[in-house]
Structure 1
Amino acid sequence: MCGGRGTRLGGEAEKPLREVAGRPMVDRVLDALAASRIEATHAVVSPHATRTRERLAERASGSPSLSVVDAPGNGYVADLRHAMEAVDAGGDPLLTVAADLPLLDAAAVNAVLDAARAADGDSLTVCVPAARKRDLGVSADATTEIDGREVVPAGINVVGGAGDESDAEGDDEGEASADRDAGAVHLTDDARLAVNVNYPSDVRTAERLLTDDGPDRHPTDP
């Protein structure tokens, strides 16, 4: 999902094209997906991110596993529904990923796939404890409560192949809210899934963590 305006980030760059440590976030996410077990990637763009669409169309021209889906730009949920209708997944579940996860890598993507396979049902919502995000120094907007614990959706989920996208509720920045009744919830402390970039301060934190090789970057899930 890479059609957000990125108004909270400021500046002239569209949110997916905002650079973190010298590289646009959308490129970082696409590289993580390409190196993972995901077989095909569909970049969902909107009229709010025309330069992002141009960049992705150029990248897709040289990659048979990447395609561009033009969504109407009516918000995260509406654009997700449009994309799910446009993509023929053959009944298989779909992995949805926001373009604002610059620490994402192939191992983190595969861990989500493994969690979805082990969970009951067709859908999986990935969440991070709000306290973990605050400890890392990143914004913790769109909090919800699960089993008495304050959590934040990570922006990476598995949506059932039957087309049930009801587990995602969000704004045009792609911040999905967890719905416990829509499927399993995977709670993780992994910084690669905890760092969403919504504000300039999040960019600085992401850049610091990208250069941090310490054990805090890839903790064990609770």
Structure 2
Amino acid sequence: MVIAVVMAGGKGTRMKTDREKPLTLLSGKPVIQYVLEALKNSSIVDKIVVATSSQTPQTTLFVEDILVDNPSIGILDTPGSGYIEDLSYLLSQDDFKDEIIVTIASDLPLITGEIIDQVMEEYQKSSKPAMSVMVPVELFHEYNLQPSLVLGKVVPSGLNILRGKDTEQDEEVLVLDKIELALNINSPEDIICLEKLWGNPRR
């Protein structure tokens, strides 16, 4: 089974707003909703789990509201101590043992089901248990984006694949030159960039 886990437990302090980052409105729709719709459009993802925490109570309520019409979506309450800590907690859960897990940030509004499927197809060709998806740093320069972390000539995207076991896993690195994987909504400047790409003002 392929389980997609939407990481939505962080504060998102760089947004400089009281609104929880997964609920940042983009054209009148929370950013996490774009991610959930992309996952639902994937032909490979079997189940979706949204990992929230005490840091994101309104996000939990938002997801609970859509569960009635979306039985393939679930919620996991994580410690909210940070991305790595929440991921480790997730991997320690028996429900995820030996499953293929797609972790995705809740702030990737341009992501599509087609891109998720493309990454999964590349993963299925690999002999390694994990895959880290990267974006060329030049793409950030092209769009005047500020990367959170630069590893040589690449930047980690908000999309990764691993097996459900709480151990270190050998990983394949996949580099994709796609703005859909580069544009995380981490700051007001990122929203401005998104508006330019969409060609319409924020509502």
TM-score normalised by L of structure 2 = 0.89
Offset, 1:12: 1.7
Gaps of 5+ in 1: 168-181, 213-222
Take 2:97 and 2:13, find their aligned partners in 1: how far apart are those partners? 36
Question: Which of these residues, 134, 143, 158, is aligned with residue 136 of structure 1?
Answer: 143
Q: What is residue 158 of structure 1 aligned with on the other side?
A: 161
Offset, 1:87: 5.7
Q: What is residue 199 of structure 1 aligned with on the other side?
A: 187
The Cα RMSD (Å) is 1.7
Offset, 1:19: 1.4
Take 1:211 and 1:95, find their aligned partners in 2: how far apart are those partners? 30
Deviations 1:147-183 (A, max 9, x none): xxx211001000124444x46xxxxxxxxxxxxxx31
Q: What is residue 96 of structure 1 aligned with on the other side?
A: 103
Percent identical among aligned pairs is: 28
Q: What is residue 23 of structure 2 aligned with on the other side?
A: 17
Task: Say yes or no: does 1:65 pair with 2:53.
Answer: no
Counting matched residue pairs gives 193
Offset, 1:10: 1.1
Offset, 1:107: 0.6
Deviations 1:125-164 (A, max 9, x none): 000111111212222121112xxxx211001000124444
Runs of 4+ in 1 over 4 A off after TM superposition: none
Question: Which of these residues, 56, 67, 82, is aligned with residue 63 of structure 2?
Answer: 56
Deviations 1:68-98 (A, max 9, x none): 0000111111111222233623512210001
68-77 or 203-212, larger mean C-alpha shift: 203-212
Gaps of 5+ in 2: 1-6
TM-score normalised by L of structure 1 = 0.81
Take 1:13 and 1:23, find their aligned partners in 2: how far apart are those partners? 13
